[in-house]
Amino acid sequence: MFRRDVKKLDDVLARFLRVSGLETPLLQRRLIDSWGEVMGPVIAKYTEQVFISNQTLMVKINNSALRAELSMMRTQIVRLLNDHIGVMVIADVKLY
């Protein structure tokens, strides 16, 4: 009898994504897509643009009072978003 090297499908897929260089862009996309869910519908309503550049989440907020309020909560926002994804994807948030 021979022994098969059986691996779980999620391990194989995770390794494939990592080797092919798709893991980081996939995690970044998941974080961007979760902005409205994590921050809530009111903040999502005032959000115009969300993207990641150099581990910094760039968010365009079209309400200056809300932008000022959120800028004081930057570290909490980073923690909430990274916790939602399960890994550290961003290190900072810039609101403009």
Count each helix (H run) and each strand (E run) in the chain, helices first. Answer: 6, 3
pLDDT number for residue 34: 97
> What does the pLDDT average to over 66-90?
97
What's the pLDDT tens digit per position in 13-66? 888 888 888 899 999 999 999 999 999 999 999 999 999 999 999 999 999 999
Backbone region of residue 80 per phi and psi (left: phi > 0; alpha: psi in -120 to 50; beta: other values)? alpha
CB distance 60 to 48 below 8 Å: yes
**pTM summary value:** 0.83
Closest CA relative to residue 36, chosen from 54, 49, 22, 55: 49
pLDDT number for residue 1: 60
Stronger pLDDT, 32 or 10, i.e. the higher one: 32
How many CB atoms lie under 10 A from the CB of residue 49?
10
pLDDT number for residue 21: 83
